[in-house]
Chains A and B, each alone.
Chain A
Amino acid sequence: MENPELISIWKEQNAKIEKTLAINQLLLKDAINNKAKSSLKSLIKLKTAGIIAFVFYLAILGYALVYAFSNYSTAWNYFIVSVSAIALINIKGFSDYVKHLVWANNINYNGSVMEIQQQLLRLQLSIIKHAKIMSLQFPFFTTFYLSNNWFPHEVGFGYIIFQVLLTSSFVYLSYWLYKNHKPENLDKKWFRTMIAGSGGKSVMKAIEFYRELEEFKKE
């Protein structure tokens, strides 16, 4: 066949479909009566471990801050500022995580393919946005242990230099990660390695599809 008529070949299945394709009415009713309702609950059950871990972590940070405020002295200043920043960033990250989880499950698929797929992609790629925000806390892990009691007046000049360099490096690292955490960096091995640990496979598929979508949009 040199110039196949694709449509007529495709239509060959129509008669067979009408004759042999059967809808299992019982399963269909079960799907619309039970499974439609339970899909959100199931998703939340799946993500519960992550949600519990996050809440537990925030509780520890909160307790540490309450303790510091209750026993306040200027020695606690570095600790309070650092842990407050870490807690705020984690609260933001956690609330985005839960929000996106619920949105993703409730998205209405009755829109054009391009519109809905772009919405879904934005949600799926929110993992990257989430990681961007979480990277902002890194510098504070190099300052929470400092204290006015001994820093900087009770330490040598060498330690001061070391501390300044350490914190500056982490500030730069945070800034660089924040700037470079984007789907366009899918080609880079460091990026793929980094997102592999945070729901990576589905994110990788989402990123690959993002490229397909961008290519498809071109006339």
Chain B
Amino acid sequence: MDKTDKSDIFLSAIELNKGIIYKVANSYCKNVEDRKDLVQEIIIHLWKSFDNYDNNFRHSTWMYRISLNVAISFYRKEHSRKRISNPLTDGIVDFPHYDSVEDNESNLGILQQMILQLKNLDKALMLLYLEEKSHKEISQIIGISETNVATKINRIKNVLKQQFTQIKNQ
């Protein structure tokens, strides 16, 4: 495969699955500038691993694994590392502006805020659950048993539902 073909295939894969990158970046970064940096890092790592893409897994599984790994380790890196490349003024992914009071108070806004508060690994689990991934696929992406996936999802789901109800009743 020549370089142009590879780039084109990669760009199509990103375009088709841009929602994954958006949702992961949105769930792991509160700050808009951090989201841009995170998106860039995710794309770089996806590109680096594109040659080794395993056809036994779906594109979406591959993208979730890399996106989540990059996002989870993002804030553990030294602060100075985040801006080693030229800082972006525009982002690779243009995020819709969801910062109005109306958006934040909508059910989706509340859910997104609650997801942001979760711990890193719980967040990854919930993202995949909300994306309606099977327990088997979640187990492959996260690397824990299917039983453990089910147990943890139930626990986090119940906590979120309780919090959600409390917030809406205020």
Residues of chain B touching chain A, judged by Cβ–Cβ distance below 8 Å, are 7, 10-11, 14-15, 18-19, 22-23, 40, 43-45, 47-49, 52-54, 62, 65-66, 68-70, 72-73, 75-81, 84-85, 88, 90-96, 107-108, 111, 119-122, 124, 129-132, 140-145, 147-148, 151-152, 157, 160-161, 164-165, 168
Sort chain A's interface into a size bin. 35 or more
Measured CB to CB, the closest approach of chain A to B131, in angstroms, equals: 8
Measured CB to CB, the closest approach of chain A to B39, in angstroms, equals: 9
Interface 0/1 of A17-48, CB less than 8 Å to B: 11011111101110111011011001101100
Residues of A within 8 A of B124 (CB): 113
Please state if A113 and B96 are interface contacts (CB–CB under 8 Å): no
Residues of B within 8 A of A45 (CB): 84
Residues of A within 8 A of B160 (CB): 6
Of A7, A29, A46, A117, the most chain B CB neighbours within 10 A belong to: A117
| Count of chain A to chain B residue pairs whose CB atoms are closer than 8 Å in the complex | 176
Contact status of A12 and B108, CB under 8 A, knowing A7-B132, A112-B140:
yes
Contact status of A112 and B143, CB under 8 A, knowing A43-B81, A212-B121:
yes
Please state if B49 and A24 are interface contacts (CB–CB under 8 Å): no
Residues of B within 8 A of A16 (CB): 96
Please state if A202 and B76 are interface contacts (CB–CB under 8 Å): yes
Please state if A113 and B93 are interface contacts (CB–CB under 8 Å): no
11 more A-B residue pairs beyond the given contacts A112-B140, A202-B77, with a C-beta to C-beta distance below 8 A: A6-B157, A20-B94, A23-B11, A45-B84, A108-B49, A109-B69, A109-B70, A112-B141, A113-B69, A114-B144, A217-B144
Contact status of A113 and B68, CB under 8 A, knowing A10-B108, A24-B90, A219-B147:
yes
Residues of B within 8 A of A109 (CB): 45, 49, 65-66, 69-70
Counting CB contacts under 8 A, is A173 at the interface? no
Q: How far is the CA of A184 from the CA of B19 in the complex (A)?
A: 39
Residues of chain A touching chain B, judged by Cβ–Cβ distance below 8 Å, are 1-4, 6-7, 9-10, 12-14, 16-18, 20-25, 27-29, 31-33, 35-36, 38-39, 42-43, 45-46, 108-117, 120, 124, 199, 201-202, 205-206, 209, 212-213, 216-217, 219
Contact status of A117 and B69, CB under 8 A, knowing A4-B107, A9-B111, A23-B18:
yes
Please state if A112 and B108 are interface contacts (CB–CB under 8 Å): no
Measured CB to CB, the closest approach of chain A to B140, in angstroms, equals: 7
Residues of B within 8 A of A120 (CB): 69, 73, 76
A3's nearest neighbour on chain B, judged by CB, is B161
Residues of A within 8 A of B90 (CB): 24, 27
Please state if A18 and B132 are interface contacts (CB–CB under 8 Å): no
Please state if A43 and B47 are interface contacts (CB–CB under 8 Å): no
Please state if B111 and A111 are interface contacts (CB–CB under 8 Å): no
Please state if A209 and B47 are interface contacts (CB–CB under 8 Å): no
Contact status of A17 and B19, CB under 8 A, knowing A29-B7, A111-B65, A113-B69:
yes
Measured CB to CB, the closest approach of chain B to A21, in angstroms, equals: 6
Residues of A within 8 A of B108 (CB): 9-10, 12-13
Of A20, A28, A46, A124, the most chain B CB neighbours within 10 A belong to: A28
Please state if B72 and A43 are interface contacts (CB–CB under 8 Å): no
Q: Which of B14, B140, B145 is the one whose CB lies under 8 Å from A219?
A: B145
